[in-house]
Structure 1
Amino acid sequence: MNTALNRILCARSLAIIGASSDPAKRGYQAIRQLLSDGFAGRIFPINPKSREILGLKCYPSVLDVGETIDAALICTPAKMSPGILDQCGQKGITGVIVLAAGFAEIGPEGAKLADECLAVAQRNNVRIIGPNTNGVFNLHNRMNLVGVQGVEPGGIGIVSQSGNMSLALITEAKRRGGLGFSTYVGVGNQLDVRFNEYLEYFGQDQETKAAVFYVEGFKNGRKFLDVCREVAKKKPVIIYKSGRTAAGQNAASSHTGALAGSFALTRDLLRQAGATVIEQSDKILSVAEGLSKLPVASGDRVAILSDGGGHGTITTDTLIEHGLTLAELSDETRMRLAGMLPASASLTNPVDVAGGTDENPACFADCAQILLEDPGVDILMIIGIFGGYAMRFSESLLEMEIETSRRVADLARRYGKPLVVQSVYGTLRPKPLEYLKELGIPLFIWPENAVRCVAELVRYSGARRRIARAQPLIPGPAKKAAQSIISGARSEGRDSLYEHEAKTLLATYGVTVPPHLVVREAGELVHVTAKLGDDPMAMKIVSQDILHKSEAGGVKLEISGGKALCSSFEAILENAHAFNPRARIHGVLVSPMARPGVEVIVGVVHDPIFGPVIMFGLGGIFVEVLKDVSFRALPICDEDAQEMIEEIQSKAILNGVRGAAPVDKSALVDLIMKVAMVSQLHPEIAEIDLNPIIARDDGYDVVDARMIFSNDGD
């Protein structure tokens, strides 16, 4: 556990440095809030000009306090921070919260001050939250250093790079009711403590049932993924990543590199690590509530219990759109439902009670039990006006509705299956629904939001199982042969492998590559037919100085016959010299034309934030235009590779269109895994770009392969 961070967020003694008697100042407001909330720990106001503030003895500095201090809230101007941090270090305070702005966000002068603060803090073993933060709170510790009012303690932890976003979530929770928070941290400039450390804290905090992060940018994305993978095994991590339209890296030497800076990469990698990524800010809280209260789902088969056709249909449509499965009810289940519902009721999924609950809301609990007992049902959704019958029909139904809420909650616990409720009366907060929320059942106003929560629960549940099954990489004997190819290229001062070398390296790991021949002189073309057959050929320039061969006129396709081979050879050399007169020409690569199929791409790039990542998508010359790709951080498992293939928008093409046979997806999974192994065992390869790969029903052909070394050779 991060002891310093734990001492800050679970402090039992606090110094308020810059304490004030002015109600408009944070140094006054913080003390007032602590006293108002009944903070059980010791509070030490620090101000050399005051003797007492709000009835508490005031001290000139933390060095004058004769007791141990866990943490300090620094409310003074930025320029005073280095000296105060030094005093905190001398006192043995291991963690501080710096509210002041005026650091790196204002320019070079502020950045210099930030560097000085960090140096002082590190020298004194003091950890810093902030600066430029709106504060922290731990409601279970009654330590509110933000000043928000009327917030319920609960199970949702928040870490935010935006004070306004945190206030929006807190305000929404207050409006809805029945939803509370454990700990909040405004990270500010992240001068010291990083997102991954806050996530580690939430993973260990017993009061936090789900962790919510609003992130504008990661400073150590790889470390965050590593921590997220561990925390997600225990509890949900919900992330909203802003800046989704900032895409691309300015100087990318491959298709993979050009696509790697996108939001899609961040989203895919976070989901791979078990996080739930939300792309609409108004959905953050509802998903967090659901995931914090619901058990892990064993599958995606959903049963709908509705008291109206409209909401049932909307829910069904949305379920299918989210890729979930409408549960097929057993004959026994339908027969039992028929025994208690009117003849007009629909006994197939969605189940419509058709007025059977209007005078007897308890029927909802009876039907819910039948559905939860069906082994073909993984999740139950109750849809419509549940909880509002007393308001709509008769006040005499109120007690029955409250008792039904209790029974529904008991059933959810007994059967251990996720159960969510959607009610049009949710905004009115009637007693049966408020009681339902108190008992831990997620409540939604609109069917779409309820389904979104269920879909994210299913995704999260699957990620937990996948992470638990992940196995470590075991290197094979191919590494030595591959390393000799790399060493040979580097000994010649090259920063990349030639295409035929890259293909040979892939072949050492079991990747299927087409036969090929490198021709240096026209006279060698007479050997092409004998070595490669008499099928039409493809010819490509081989030069360390020409990466994009087509742009240089260095590619000729569908070449048949000796004369055509000779003329194409001469044309390729002439084009290459015209494109780059200084280009070093190694020869011309000749290979049989690949049979028709679907063009895909597999690539690896070392992302500056997340480290090595692998990509799969629709390939060919339009890959950077269509950008239909998926990403995963290395290492990966077979399930990651399978998910990458299924996630692309054009996956229907892989399944076969207009009479075409579906491609061999198992072969593509195997290829992705082998490329991942190459990257992991040879980290000196900075980029791998296999594009296009022609995928067919009987395998694939790697038509082009590119491998680029890192600049430092690591």
Structure 2
Amino acid sequence: MNHPTESPLQPILAPGSIAVVGASRDAGKRGNMAIRYLQQNRFQGRIYPIHPKESEVLGLTCYPTVKSLPEAPDLALICTAAHTLPGLIRQCGERGIRGAVVLATGFSETGEAGQALEEEMVAAARAMGLRIIGPNTSGMFTTHCGANLVGFRDLRSGPIGLLSQSGNMALSLVTEAGQHPSLGFSTYVGVGNEADVQFHEYLDYFAADPYTRVIVGYVEGLKQGRRFLQSAARISREKPLVIYMSGRTAVGQQSARSHTGALSGSYALAKGVMRQAGVLLVERADEILPVANTLAATRGQLPLRGKRVAILADGGGHATIAADALHQLGLSIPRLGETTRNRLRELLPPSAAVNNPVDVAGGTDNHPQLFADCAEVLLADSDIDILLIVGLFGGYGLRFSESLSNDELQCARRLAPLPDRFDKPVLLQSLYRPLQPEPLRYLENTSIPLFSSIDEAARCLAAIADYDQARTRLADHEQSERAELSASVSDRIGEVLQSGRRCLYEYEALDALAAYGATVVPPQVIRDEQEFDEIVPSAAESRYVMKLVSRDILHKTDAGGVKLNLVPDDFVPAYREILANARRYRPDAAIEGVLLAPMAEPGVEVIIGVTRDRQYGPVMMFGLGGVFVEVLQDVVFRALPLSRADALEMLDGIRGSKVLDGVRGGAAVDRQALVSLMLAVSDLCVNHPEIVELDLNPVLARPMDYCVLDARILLNPQQEAA
């Protein structure tokens, strides 16, 4: 066997020998079923049943204890109750067993007592140098060596590695795969409670596994989300990672401290950071395997030259549906060049449409091999990157005449090598796929993915383009540079924390941004109304904004702590009114003074924020800002540190991105200036982990620059670096 060697989990997930602790003669017990399935799947290694009273189980010699085994197996499957696990794990470790699959429930998922038992078990494992899969797991299987420790029937070997936090979801996917000859799995792991081995560690195993071409995961939550993102970003450069996340409509974290905190914790956050790491998120459970299978089949045709798709159809309706679906997914359907159109005219009847989509207009009714002829012409076009065939192919022998079946089969044989010959993906949708006619059966195990639905084909085609784009983006991220640590900012944060404050004043926040290259207009700090006398002469031609400075009042507008469009004669009355409003709003508030700054030129209001998510660590939010940010919630998220490519993608990622390009004759904002600000914020927050939340809301994005109108930074002295 050609086992992977890079991952320390290899002897556990592709074991050469297995001990079954809790073996049984009772056919209904897991300790009996496990051995049966190992035998039925022709497990290539040695099986050691362990039971204190039995001498033989299913024809195999049974041993009374782990200690009595004649050798140290690679893996132990433990089928006994939860309370036995700490002791059994110690015994396995003492015997030299390196891994254990723990099926039992009754651990952390049940409460404090179970949590304590789980911690005792893990402590024993770590003392012994043993790794645990589970507990509370459905098991695992690895098809190429026959290690079926989950009990699924009729497993088919294939290129998909599967991780799941739900045993029933895994069963659904394995059952679904059984209905399609081209779908199969390399290794499956039910991760269970992840008391020891974490989700990201399994990703590293699959990355090294030569039997796995695509990794699929069902995720409900991640204990170490940041480590997951790091592994995913590394792995996605080489292998596609397809994830379905459940719990997408759950109410996210709620925080009254800042807009960013209030909007984080949502599926939008997870979606953003997953995309950044190269993960392909599918939002329908029935798309998981089609997307995975498509990526496995077409991986050899990457990288793409672009996102330009040719559609080849045998009917106008199918052609139009495909064009609509692809356009909505952001793919291009370019008009074909004159040379290509002329070649198609030579092949097809005069009524055929040869622009793109190409409609053969009955030309294939008696000559199905014209599909292959047209496919060759389209793939030879340098302005086409992907070919999608839609309609009736494969069913001409059923629909028109059985005599056409052989012609279709010959066409299928001609189509099969085209993706490799032209180094371009080819996808085929046929309404006859559920009937599995011979031409489509022939194509099932080729590099041409098959579909019954045009919409499904379009989404899978988009997944190819998304994955290809992700690989390029990840390469750009790898080359990004971070700013060096600013000693002045560190000193200021230290002084603030030492004083007992947990937030920077706005002028301090602006100074911190400036230290990392952001362009800011430093306001004047006024602590006494007499100070206004010194600035009146220079303020005669301007209008000003005045804002409260208080460690205890973060939302200044709510407290009546902001005054706009002030002229010098307004300064003292406005100052007094702001202080009076603040004392009414919160009588015990410590008031530092006010900030005075010129009113800014108008622009598009956006928000840039950072929060530290409990799963993914520091993340940045970008969206349309101002007072409506929490109403519209048109925001996107990415994990820090941010690359330039990440920032540009965030600008395009909001629903209102066209607002940045100017509306009703207005000028477009300076996107590069916004990107520079976002990178400065990223460097600031990564270099200073004490910053737990940052809000710049609003930032005025303008044609030549930007202006930060409000800056808020919250601190936590206990925060660790990400």
Please indicate the TM-score interval, normalised by the length of the shorter structure: over 0.9
Q: Aligned residues, how many?
A: 713
State the AA in 2 paired with 1:548: H
- Quick check: 2:216–2:243 contact (8 Å CA) kept in 1? yes
Query: What letter is aligned with 1:313?
Result: T
Query: Compared with structure 1, are the counterparts of its residues 472 and 532 closer, same or farther at alpha carbon in structure 2 (3 Å cutoff)?
Result: farther
Of residues 49, 64, 87 in structure 2, which corresponds to 1:45? 49
Paired amino acid for 1:482: V
Verify the 8 A CA contact 1:95 1:128 in the aligned structure 2.
Answer: yes
Q: Which amino acid aligns with 1:97?
A: V
Change in Cα spacing, 1:3 to 1:342, as seen in structure 2 (3 Å) is closer
Judge conservation of contact 1:602–1:691 (CA < 8 Å) in 2: yes
Matched residue, 2:242? 238
Aligned 8 A contact 2:497 2:717 in 1 = no
CA distance in 1, matches of 2:565, 2:233: 48
Cα offsets for 1:184-207 (capped at 9, x unmatched): 111111111110011111111111
What residue identity is the alignment partner of 1:659?
G
After alignment, is 391-400 or 205-214 more displaced? 391-400
Q: Select the residue among 131, 149, 155 that pairs with 2:135.
A: 131
CA distance in structure 2 between the aligned counterparts of 1:483 and 1:107, rounded to whole angstroms:
41
How does 1:5-44 map onto structure 2 within 5 Å? 5-44=9-48
Q: Matched residues in 2 for 1:491 and 1:98: separation?
A: 48
**1:637 CA displacement:** 1.2
Partner of 1:627: 633
- Measured against aligned partners, the alpha-carbon deviations of 1:200-247 in whole angstroms (never above 9, x if no partner) come to 111111111100000111000011111111110111000111111224
For residues 515 and 229 of structure 2, what CA distance do their matches in structure 1 show?
A: 31
Q: What TM-score do the two structures reach when normalised by structure 1?
A: 0.97
Structure 2 CA distance for aligned equivalents of residues 471 and 611 of structure 1: 19
* Contact kept in structure 2, 1:552 and 1:575, CA below 8 Å: yes
SS in 2 for 1:325: coil
Residue in 1 that maps onto 2:666: 660
1:24 and 1:480, CA in 2 relative to 1: closer, same or farther beyond 3 A?
same
Counterpart of 1:566 in structure 2 is 572
Range with greater deviation from structure 2 (145-154 or 242-251) = 242-251
In structure 1, how many angstroms separate the alpha carbons of the residues matched to 2:716 and 2:254?
A: 17
Partners in 2 of 1:455 and 1:694 — Cα distance?
34
2:325 corresponding residue in structure 1: 318
Aligned AA (1:305): L
Distance, in Å, in 2 between the alignment partners of 1:396 and 1:78 is 64
User: Following superposition of structure 1 onto structure 2, how do residues 203-282 of structure 1 map, counting pairs within 5 Å?
Assistant: 203-251=207-255, 253-282=257-286
Question: Is 1:375 aligned to residue 382 of structure 2?
Answer: yes
C-alpha distance in 1 between matches for 2:421 and 2:536: 72
In structure 2, C-alpha distance between the alignment counterparts of 1:236 and 1:213, rounded to whole Å = 11
CA distance in 1, matches of 2:573, 2:487: 39
How many Å separate the matches in 2 of 1:515 and 1:106? Answer: 55
Q: Is the 8 Å Cα contact of residues 275 and 281 (structure 2) preserved in structure 1?
A: yes
The 5 Å alignment of 1:499-514 reads 499-514=506-521
Alignment of 1:283-682 (within 5 A): 283-295=287-299, 296=302, 297-471=304-478, 474=481, 476=483, 479-531=486-538, 534-562=541-569, 564-682=570-688
- Kindly state the Cα deviation for residue 471 of structure 1 after the two structures are TM-superposed: 4.2
Tell me the amino acid that sits aligned with residue 227 of structure 1: S
| Letter in structure 1 aligned against 2:454 | P
Contact kept? 2:310, 2:356, Cα under 8 Å: yes
Q: Distance in 1 between matches of 2:478 and 2:427?
A: 34
> Following the alignment from structure 1 to structure 2, what is the Cα–Cα distance between the partners of residues 462 and 526?
58
Deviation of the 1:277 alpha carbon: 0.6
Post-superposition shift, 1:85? 1.1
Query: What SS does the aligned partner of 2:686 have?
Result: helix
Q: State the SS of the aligned residue for 2:348.
A: coil
Aligned with residue 121 of structure 2, among 117, 121, 129: 117
1:346-367 residue CA offsets vs partner (Å, 9 max, x unmatched): 0011011111111111111111
Asked if residue 151 in structure 1 is aligned to residue 158 in structure 2, the reply is no
Distance in 1 separating the partners of 2:484 and 2:297: 48
For 2:462, the aligned partner's letter is A
SS in 2 for 1:375: coil
CA contact (8 A) 2:18 2:75 kept: yes
Please tell me whether the aligned partners of residues 4 and 95 of structure 1 are also in contact (alpha carbons under 8 angstroms).
no
Query: Is 1:100 the equivalent of 2:104?
Result: yes
SS at match of 2:135: coil
* Distance in 2 separating the partners of 1:683 and 1:561: 41
Q: Are 1:314 and 1:447, in contact at CA under 8 Å, matched by a contact in 2?
A: yes
Alignment of structure 1 residues 59-70 onto 2, 5 Å: 59-70=63-74
* 1:234 aligned partner, one-letter code: E
Residues 220/344 of structure 1: CA separation in 2 closer, same or farther (3 Å cut): same
Confirm or deny that 1:187 pairs with 2:194. Answer: no
State the 1:491 CA deviation.
Answer: 4.4
Any conservation in 2 of the 1:4–1:127 contact (CA below 8 Å)? Answer: no
- Give, in whole Å, the separation in 1 of the partners of 2:617 and 2:226: 6
Q: CA deviation at 1:616?
A: 0.7
1:321 Cα deviation from its structure 2 partner: 0.8
Write out per-residue CA displacement over residues 551-593 of structure 1, whole angstroms, 9 at most, x where no aligned residue.
Answer: 111011122241x222111100101111122212111111112
CA positional deviation for 1:480: 3.3
Distance 1:530-1:305 versus aligned 2 partners, 3 A rule: farther
Amino acid at match of 1:93: I
Contact 1:517 1:528 (C-alpha < 8 Å) held by counterparts? no
Distance 1:533 1:44, change over 3 A: farther
Moved more, 638-647 or 171-180: 171-180
Given the superposition, is the C-alpha separation of residues 234 and 67 from structure 1 closer, same or farther in structure 2, using an over 3 Å criterion? same
